Amino acid sequence: MDRLLLTLLCVAFFALCLYGMWRGWRRRARAQSVRVPPFPEVPADPGTPALVTRGIYVSTTTAGHWQDRIVTRGAGMRGPAVVRLYDDGVEIERSGAPGFWIPRESVISVGTAKGMAGKVMGTDSLLVFTWRLGDVELDTGLRGDDLSVYPKWIEQVKGGAQV
């Protein structure tokens, strides 16, 4: 009987922890939905992409605060993604989550990083776009399948040149 009671107590504690994490995630999303405007949608006809990279969408965070994950409107979900560079912006197409558009005029900088909320590595293996959405500056990170294309992305986005 003592073993059963102890097992039930452990299961209840685990369920309570999961419930607390779920409530915290929802509270954070509600608070951010007021502060962070909706992400721009991809234009109907953005043109021909200059660069395309497949990889893992890691997260979007508040710029300069690599652990402050943005979770509102599905932005906190990590998963497979395709990133495309167009004349007017960058498309982030995510599997199983809403994609979004980063207008070219909103991009502040692009570079690499060692870590971001949800992913930390020993090398600069994340491609990070710093951009402005309304009054908020954000960092959006991607772990590309081919790291050798990062210099092309940085050159193209910073220079605004076409391939």
What are the pLDDT digits (tens) for 27-38? Answer: 888 877 778 888
Note the CATH number of domain 51-159: 2.30.29.30
β strands within 9-133, DSSP E: 51-62, 79-85, 89-94, 100-103, 107-113, 115-116, 119-120, 126-133
For residue range 97-136, list pLDDT tens digits in order: 888 999 999 999 999 998 888 778 778 889 999 999 988 9
* pTM of the complete model: 0.80
Handedness of CA 20, 23, 25, 28 (dihedral sign): negative
CA atoms within 13 A on the CB side of 31: 9
> Using CA atoms, how far apart are residues 20 and 146, in angstroms rounded to an integer?
38
* 73 compared with 91, residue with greater pLDDT: 91
Of 93, 28, 98, the residue nearest 61 (C-alpha): 28
Spans of all domains in the chain: 51-159
